[in-house]
């Protein structure tokens, strides 16, 4: 049996076509989406060891007793310093990785994909051996095409390790367009804007009844552009702008340390932050240093970014939000507004504008509609960024913001492997 797999930066999902309709598998209780997170609690006999001196792969151990998704996040929140936690491993795949780091990510992603496939097989009651897997136009990182090749190699090894016998990769914004296409009764040119967790991708695609049954769709992709800016970057931007002034941003001593603390999508930054932390020997540390020390001691960087992510989500629904940081210090909180978010992501927003403009300029066809997908595309701030490029004349349309890629991949898998 074949399936479509959206191994996402924020969430992952899987679907098959059954009786002409996409059916997504339930990957955790009452949800077809599994947060892309993994946690391994250190056994009691390891807690007294010098965990920090071990490589990440050594900390993973024999990979027994792993937790995934919401369970992993909840375990990390309860016991942040007592285990290995990783969220959004996809965001690192295009980075400059050592051999040991590449091996580690292959193992982690293989474990996560194995878990996803096991849950899906239980849900459908049948084996899954072939898959179309989504990929961004550009993987996050600074290595360009070499980084993309590295990321795809890691994903191929991980998929094989998870038991998949045949894998095909497909651009995620094209997959989202195929999902939207299922409801059309006439042909359209679609501008797909996919603001995902790790990247922003934009495509101009021909969709509609004339193209729906084609097995090969590359000719229908009129233009595409991508950038390594995504929802995780926006979360970090918001955290840096609103949270980190409470932890030393703007001070002479702690500014760089605070930056490394919040930059969870950079392996060098996280290694620099967690290498050591100096506290006064003969004096009382000030409040700001105490807070940052607590982040270092309890490994709370991901927790801070998670708080920023939840604030971003809330600011899509309302104009202000109280961001609570009681897990660092009792009663600590910060008020954030939609305007704070707009200011925080100003530089990232400019890169998103450029992606959209590049795709439009590369296509001779004017889009009939703008199709929004990806979790961060829900934000009114992001939608305004898109409007600044495209104008108000072309209407927005959207479907399943989180599931359109998985559904489109499933549709294509049904044709490709038929």
In which residue ranges of the chain is pLDDT below 50?
A: 53
Give pLDDT tens digits for 359-370: 999 999 999 999
**Domain CATH code at residue 6:** 3.30.420.40
Q: Is 93 helix (H, G, I), strand (E, B) or coil?
A: coil
pLDDT tens, residue by residue, 138-186: 887 777 889 899 999 999 999 999 999 999 999 999 999 999 998 899 9
Q: What whole-number distance in Å separates Cα of residue 10 and Cα of residue 76?
A: 16
**66 is in which domain, residue-wise?**
2-184+400-416
The total number of residues shown for the chain amounts to: 418
Residue 360 CA to residue 388 CA, distance in Å, equals 13
Residue 65 lies in a domain: yes
In a domain, 59, yes or no: yes
For residue 341, what pLDDT is reported? 98
Give the pLDDT of residue 198: 85
Residue 409 lies in a domain: yes
User: Residue 64's pLDDT is what?
Assistant: 62
pLDDT at 58: 60
Q: What is the pLDDT of residue 62?
A: 55
Residue 199 in domain: no
Q: Which residues of 337-360 are buried (b: 16+ CB within 10 A; e: fewer)?
A: ebebbbebbeebbeebbbbbebbb
**3-class SS at 368?**
coil
Query: Mutual orientation of helices 255-262 and 301-317 as an angle, nearest 10°?
Result: 70
Strands (E), 100-220: 130-135, 166-171, 188-195, 200-207
Question: Is 60 contained in some domain?
Answer: yes
User: Which pTM value belongs to this model?
Assistant: 0.85
Tell me, yes or no, whether 67 lies in a domain: yes
The per-residue pLDDT for 84 is: 84
**Helix ranges, 13-98 (H):** 44-47, 56-60, 69-78
Number of domains in the chain: 1
Contact indicator for 217, 237 with CB cutoff of 8 Å: no
Say how far apart CA 74 and CA 210 lie, in whole Å. Answer: 47
Give the residue among 240, 253, 348, 349 at the shortest CA–CA distance from 304.
240
């Amino acid at each position: 049996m074949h399936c479509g797999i959206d191994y996402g930066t924020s969430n992952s999902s899987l679907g098959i076509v059954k009786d002409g309709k996409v059916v997504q598998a339930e990957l955790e209780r009452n949800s077809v989406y599994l947060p892309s997170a993994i946690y391994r609690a250190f056994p009691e006999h390891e807690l007294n060891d010098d965990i920090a001196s071990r490589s990440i792969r050594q900390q993973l151990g024999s990979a027994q007793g792993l937790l995934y998704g919401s369970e992993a996040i909840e375990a990390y929140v309860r016991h942040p310093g007592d285990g290995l936690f990783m969220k959004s491993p996809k965001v690192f795949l295009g980075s400059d990785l050592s051999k040991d780091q590449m091996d580690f990510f292959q193992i982690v992603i293989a474990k996560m994909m194995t878990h996803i496939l096991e849950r899906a097989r239980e849900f459908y009651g049948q084996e899954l051996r072939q898959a179309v897997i989504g990929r961004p136009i550009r993987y996050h990182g600074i290595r360009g095409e070499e980084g993309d090749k590295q990321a795809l190699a890691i994903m191929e090894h991980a998929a094989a390790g998870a038991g998949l016998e045949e894998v095909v990769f497909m651009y995620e914004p094209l997959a989202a367009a195929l999902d939207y296409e299922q409801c059309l009764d006439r042909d359209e040119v679609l501008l797909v804007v996919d603001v995902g967790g790790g990247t922003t991708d934009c495509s101009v695609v021909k969709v509609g009844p004339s193209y729906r049954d084609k097995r090969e769709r590359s000719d229908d992709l009129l233009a595409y552009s991508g950038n390594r800016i995504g929802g995780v970057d926006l979360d970090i931007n918001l955290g840096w702008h609103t949270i980190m002034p409470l932890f030393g941003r703007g001070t002479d001593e702690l500014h760089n340390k605070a930056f490394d603390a919040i930059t969870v999508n950079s392996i060098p930054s996280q290694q620099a932050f967690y290498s050591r932390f100096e506290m006064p020997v003969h004096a009382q540390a000030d409040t700001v240093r105490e807070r940052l020390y607590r982040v270092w001691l309890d490994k709370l960087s991901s927790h801070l970014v998670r708080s920023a992510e939840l604030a971003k989500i809330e600011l899509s629904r309302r104009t202000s939000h109280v961001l609570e940081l009681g897990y660092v210090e009792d009663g600590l909180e910060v008020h954030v507004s939609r305007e704070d978010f707009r200011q925080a992501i100003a530089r990232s927003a400019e890169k998103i504008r450029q992606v959209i403009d590049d795709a439009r300029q590369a296509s001779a066809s004017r889009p009939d509609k703008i199709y929004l997908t990806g979790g961060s595309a829900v934000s009114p701030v992001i939608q305004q960024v898109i409007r600044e490029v495209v104008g108000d004349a072309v209407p927005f349309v959207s479907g399943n913001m989180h599931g359109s890629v998985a559904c489109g991949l499933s549709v294509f898998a049904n044709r490709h492997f038929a």
